[in-house]
Structure 1
Amino acid sequence: MLQILALTTPIYLIITLGFGCVRAGLFNREQMGVLGLFLLRISLPCLIFRAISQYRLDEVLNPGYLAAYVSGSLLAWLGGFAYARWYCRHGRSRSALYGQAMAASNSVFVGYPIAQPLLGPAADIALPLCLLTEVAVIIPLTMAMADAGEELRWQQSLVQSLRSLFKSPVFLAIAAGLAWSASGWVLALPVQKTLTLLSSAAAPVALFMIGGMLVGQPLRGAGRDLGVLAAGKLLLHPVAVLLMMALLPGFDPRLQMAALVFACMPIPVLLPALAQRYGLAGFCSAALVVATVLSFISLNSWLALAPWLMQQM
């Protein structure tokens, strides 16, 4: 347990540092957006490309992992959508965002810094697979359902969502990494070192940014929904992934552990940006705050239970 706390505590200390610096006026929230642009356009693509390109294509495209993680994430998405749509009677846009909140993880900025020292190469392989699940399945599904009922049919919305995702730096980094992995080529040493330097900045800068973005976020109102979203992300998503790993053919135990670790991460920081076009950025920011705070307890609990859970499968 002490070893797990040694891995997770620095994550939350950096988040706290970001919160304190913005709260004290050393930075403002608008400057956190500049950090976000650097992460999304430079550091994160470098991290993803580097993580994929150093392994063979058959190691990266693990069908067992993808089947379990995609199906488990879809179950969590359906749980969030069903709760909002048929229990709370919310509109389709809000319901789709509830599904997104429960099915997408902060895998890069919180998950990878924890999983990499814990699992080594398994974390490098699992990270792009988790991102591929989100950018190719969860986000297009969310945007298609959220836009359905407006001027576009959901089929048209899905096509437009996929077109925009195919141009995103994250998707392009995944595609470039897979192509390089398939080629069998080795990166030149200066390029490797450059990618390492740029990608190593992703985790600390992102954690600092998360803390800064929490300043001033509304937490009042919709208390029940905030609690349900946090519980769905921190409990339902990992349980759904565990269930699918138990039902589907098994794969590498270290990758199974990585799937569980990434699934139990809090809500990603991109959700409020996605929700802004539907007028729900404030609510989703509040959900992110609640899930990030509660994840300190849930994450350490999951990591303590994970070895025993893996033995039962």
Structure 2
Amino acid sequence: MAIVNIILPIMFIVALGYGLTRAGFFNKEHIAGLSKFTFYVSIPAFLFTNMLAAPFSQSIDPSSLLAFYLPVLFVFAVGYQINRYFGAKTQQRSDACAVFALGCSYSNTVIVGLPVITAALGKAMIGSIFMIITFHSAFLFALTFILAARSQQHGFSWRNFTSSMVLNPVVLSISLGIIANGLNIELGEQLDEGLALLAKPALACALFVLGANLSFYRVGDNWRFALLASCLKILLLPALVYVMANWVFEFSKQNTIMLVLLSASPLGVNAYLIATEIKQYQSTLGSTVVLSTLLSVLSYSLWLMWLV
């Protein structure tokens, strides 16, 4: 499959969202409304319907989780130590280190990774993808908040974190899909068709919103650390996942491609929201979202040429 056939349609939608918003055709309020529909209605419908139809026997694989999350944890630790020793003295506290580490390791799995993988592999691996996505935010956000709590007076609240994760639309829709799948629940033809209609624009809307949101961010003064975080995220992390998947666990070609492309996703915008909440490295992570997204075009192209 030609690489351009995978990358170009995706980048066209991202560029369209960026261009129309940059030109003023859409403003922040318009994009906020579209984002709300995308992330609270269309994407949950997409995730739920696909998880409902996923073959569990082929999806639940602990070795795939290890091949993905061990490199993620390693890159998180590398980012933490880099900031601890090379960051500004005012930003060497554990909360700043944890936020920077999140910026080096958190992937935009739903908005970018999922469209790229489905374009490259079809829907054959979608159950395995969702198994990884289910734990992704919960694992990295919990780790970040726990480490950050060491520097903050209010500490870490498991109750608040658990409620926010349980009510997260991505986690909730995948969890409900798993339950319905396990119980063999039949939704009925009409409801199936209704959910399918809601799910159809999910990936296109997500890519459009991504491009629109990029127009609101700027690469700030901390561009060096943003570039470093981007390189760790889209170069080191997928390389380590490739080593784990291909050489350590010796997965099939499809499974290796899925894991590598998922890990090669740019930094997810939710990491910027966590930085804003913790009040550390907001501009750096905002810049990393932009840089890693732009650089991921090159990274994806190289990995697709190598693997597909």
Within-5 A mapping of 1:173-184: 173-184=173-184
1:114 counterpart residue number: 116
> CA separation in 2, counterparts of 1:117 and 1:216?
27
Q: Which runs of 5+ in 1 are unaligned?
A: 308-313
Report the more deviating stretch, 88-97 or 295-304. Answer: 88-97
* TM-score between both structures, scaled by the size of structure 1: 0.89
1:101 counterpart residue number: 103
Shift in Å at residue 26 of structure 1? 0.7
Alpha carbons 1:122, 1:255 under 8 Å: kept: no
Equivalences, count:
304
Identity %: 24
| Deviation digits for residues 51-95 of structure 1 (CA, Å, limit 9, x no counterpart) | 211023332322121121121211121122221123325332222
Shift in Å at residue 127 of structure 1? 2.5
1:190 counterpart residue number: 190
1:243 counterpart residue number: 243
Please tell me whether residue 295 in structure 1 is matched to residue 292 in structure 2. Answer: no
1:47 counterpart residue number: 46
1:223 counterpart residue number: 223
1:126 counterpart residue number: 128
> CA separation in 2, counterparts of 1:189 and 1:63?
34
Aligned-residue CA RMSD (Å)? 2.1
1:84 counterpart residue number: 83
Alpha carbons 2:71, 2:241 under 8 Å: kept: yes
| Deviation digits for residues 110-153 of structure 1 (CA, Å, limit 9, x no counterpart) | 22112113212333123212312313311211222223321244
Report the more deviating stretch, 178-187 or 74-83. Answer: 178-187
1:211 counterpart residue number: 211
**Closer, same or farther: CA 71–281 of 1 in aligned 2, 3 Å:** same
Report the more deviating stretch, 180-189 or 293-302. Answer: 180-189
Please tell me whether residue 69 in structure 1 is matched to residue 68 in structure 2. Answer: yes
> CA separation in 2, counterparts of 1:216 and 1:163?
29
> CA separation in 1, counterparts of 2:176 and 2:164?
17
Alpha carbons 1:102, 1:229 under 8 Å: kept: yes
Alpha carbons 2:225, 2:284 under 8 Å: kept: no
Within-5 A mapping of 1:29-48: 29-48=28-47
**Closer, same or farther: CA 193–109 of 1 in aligned 2, 3 Å:** same
Does the residue aligned with 2:75 lie in a helix, a strand or coil?
Answer: helix
> CA separation in 2, counterparts of 1:290 and 1:249?
32
Within-5 A mapping of 1:1-40: 3-40=2-39
> CA separation in 2, counterparts of 1:263 and 1:122?
18
Q: Which runs of 5+ in 2 are unaligned?
A: none
**Closer, same or farther: CA 79–200 of 1 in aligned 2, 3 Å:** farther
* TM-score between both structures, scaled by the size of structure 2: 0.90
1:272 counterpart residue number: 272
Does the residue aligned with 1:148 lie in a helix, a strand or coil?
Answer: helix
Shift in Å at residue 216 of structure 1? 4.0
